[in-house]
Chains A and B, each alone.
Chain A
């Protein structure tokens, strides 16, 4: 009986082995890692189709968007940044390699996937999107394209991870990819590190990965994307420094706009070539939910205000002038507790933002400041509160009147408290939102002042 068992087992084994030969016919998915061309970053720009003229102005509602799409006046240009592993330092075949560790290639087309196909014809290795880290969209593209449609191919692609950082750039997105970073080998990674490091710092929105965008777009909500730009951008509506000449010797000609100090980097050989190579990640681009395109920018303090309202990021510094002496005092926010309370009275919606802010007094230019004294602190708290209130009101006004977009989540809070009402108005929310009164119930506390409290 043992023999029979053995015999049947052996026959099965042999049969199995024969059919296993099928597997030897090919390892269909085998691609060695060195055969890959890893795409680290994408930059999406748009450019005029030379055949049709370019239309000025932004699109404010759905019908115009559809019109525009029909005409397809702008072409998409995608720049891919490939990693050249051989040249990445740290490998065994190390030493200094003269080649740069990355390569940027730009291709144009009418749809993202079509462009990706074109890339495959250019590159000697298969592009691999599994290590894609950043996608930069130029503001022009963000304004004129429906982002949900633009990013559809990327969202569908099984290789692209959901935690790609999304950035909107002021100028051409591909120029952002071209800076030669100092501490990282590859610009895309530098951007990624920059964004992540600054994520919970002042002036940046809390999250903007591809996944978050997808979530917001699926729900038709408005959202913000991190802005990225050059430190010395010329002629932008964003609050930056303008440099007329990038030559180091001409620093005297630099213009100062509101409140920003210029910086120069003494480590560079000169800000000689082109735009300079300092990238900053501060501020946000506002994307409207219904039309999926960009409506405007928020600068540093406005982004801070937004973060305080949503309660997601508890950072930010507020600089104000002391009422009597007009000296600068800086207050740094440590903790923010916000509650948005919607109210509907006789069919009229109103919101109350109940915010409690705690922070530290980090810098004061007042010679007579004495933080050890109670009244001084109270005085500073009042001043800080005034300033914070001013910033908040300015931001809310911008969101409501100028941009007509609700990115702070007011709608969501309304839907939680009054779900039936929300159901009726949700399609017109952004319109209604611009007229809704928002009250601020603000309390600012100074909890700490660091190591030194007074100057004498």
Chain B
């Protein structure tokens, strides 16, 4: 599937090995470069000092030293527990690490004769095996990792005279309760949306997919933010090349910060200059699960409730998971309506301008007379009028986003009704333009995914201008150019307009109409999945 990209990559890699070498050294930007790759010394005070120095300006780093109560002897082992306030779960640390350790230490003090376990080698073993009742436990021996772990919210446990540190996995920050996704409300589907924690999001998906083939590839992105990324797929459904390509593209990202999935999206897209989104993002787990089962890959970024789905095709943006929960005829009709709505919201203002300014003969006569009579006295030509109104609408839209919900609604009403009405009465615009613009706005709200609304809004303006210059001819040519652009786009090797173009009749069952679920036995051909059958024979159980 990605033959050409692989070849290109090999060429690139050969040419870039020298560049890579220099890249690695430039990555080490922090002041204590040499110190970070060094190993833990075993001298606990030194170690603590090193770590403290690395996290120089973080007063929220908590260091708890533990020593047997009665010793001032250097040979006695001391312990240090380090974590960052708020990131790590204090309760877990206190109850499961410090408490049993203190108990052990006091016992040690009582039976002071037995010095066997105060030797350095076995102490971490002992703590690992008998004392720390933390389920997730790792060991590390270099500072770099220690610091990363602390910053991730885990706890570092240093033992003097031990060259390795224990890492307890104790995430303890507060997460938002799952709420209904605001951008994609659902009528009949589930209402839990994704949250900002990576693991929680994975869990949300795992709850729905209990297949052992559910695979996760964990990566880190962002030199300074070191954000976790999980590439999720079903291992014997998804095409291996696809997964490889996704992972490779993410690994190629070379940037300091990765704050949201939106930025990630722009880095791994096939064509970031295009107005059309080539990656879908969603807040709904059911959409993600459906995509995974088709053979797509999901990318989850820590700290973003939006999950990316790859590869994405244009029809995907016009479909909604609700379509599968309702009856098939109703869903098919609604889908057809949505396609019409997309065309409508794209073309209505430009076609209006083309008719009014250029091809008056094409309007039915009575309507033409009526429009002419209402436009008497309006000072602006229809192109300027329509542009003006559309721009006003966009401004209102922006305003509506910024304002709190209650005021936002009032603004909508004020802007729409009052200003529109007043403008008509003042004779600045004609009532027909107001109607046209209002209809367009309503149509654009019916698009299920916000992502596709953006190219529509922008192209609407382009179409209006071409309509104002060359009438219907301009509209047609602009439409042709838009379709040519769409047809050229690929999203991770899949044509953007699949399954319409190139023709794959097998996939048309789910394209415009949504045929009954019983009939959709195979997975989409375009994804070249390993396991073709969804239903019936040779299925998985």
Contacts and interface: CB of A to CB of B under 8 A. Distances in A.
Nearest to A101: B369
Contacts of A6: 273
A34 to B, nearest CB: 4
Given A30-B358, A33-B360, A93 B373 contact: yes
Contact of A38 (B369, B374, B378): B369
Interface stretch (A62-70, A84-92, A225-233, A293-301): A84-92
B369 A85 contact: yes
B373 A31 contact: no
Given A92-B431, A159-B361, A32 B376 contact: no
B41 interface: no
A91 B367 CA distance: 10
Contact of A33 (B371, B383, B469): B371
Interface in A129-167: 130-131, 133, 159, 161
Contacts, number: 86
Identify whether the interface residues of B are mostly helix, strand, loop, or mixed: helix
Contacts of A29: 358, 470-471
B469 A23 contact: yes
Contacts of B358: 29-31
B375 interface: yes
Interface string B359-383: 0111101001111111110100111
B524 interface: no
Contact of B381 (A30, A36, A133, A189): A30
Contacts of A93: 373-374, 376
Given A92-B431, A93-B376, A30 B369 contact: no
Given A9-B273, A27-B469, A92-B431, A33 B361 contact: no
B267 to A, nearest CB: 11
Contacts of A27: 357, 383, 468-470
B540 to A, nearest CB: 40
Interface string B374-406: 111010011100000000000000000000000
Given A88-B370, A91-B373, A130 B468 contact: no
A88 B373 contact: yes
12 contacts: A23-B469, A24-B469, A27-B357, A27-B470, A29-B358, A29-B471, A32-B382, A34-B372, A34-B378, A86-B373, A93-B374, A131-B360
Interface residues of A, number: 31
A224 interface: no
Interface string B457-491: 00000000000111100000000000000000000
A83 interface: yes
A86 B376 contact: yes
Contacts of B363: 33
A85 B273 contact: no
Contact of B373 (A40, A85, A161, A189): A85
A20 to B, nearest CB: 9
Contacts of B357: 27, 30-33
A83 B367 CA distance: 13
Contacts of A87: 373
B391 to A, nearest CB: 18
Given A30-B358, A33-B360, A130-B361, A85 B469 contact: no
A30 B468 contact: yes
B360 A128 contact: yes
Nearest to A89: B373
A32 B381 contact: yes
B356 interface: yes
Contact of B368 (A9, A30, A131): A131
A85 B470 CA distance: 26
A85 B381 contact: no
Nearest to A90: B370
Contact of B372 (A1, A30, A33, A159): A33
Interface string A28-69: 011111101010100000000000000000000000000000
B468 A131 contact: no
A92 B362 CA distance: 23
A31 B359 CA distance: 9
A390 B12 CA distance: 98
A29 B358 CA distance: 6
Given A32-B356, A88-B373, A90-B370, 4 more contacts: A30-B358, A32-B381, A85-B376, A90-B373
A33 to B, nearest CB: 5
Interface in A328-368: none
Interface string A78-107: 000001011110111100000000000000
A133 B376 CA distance: 23
A93 B360 CA distance: 21
Contacts of B356: 32-33
Contacts of B431: 92
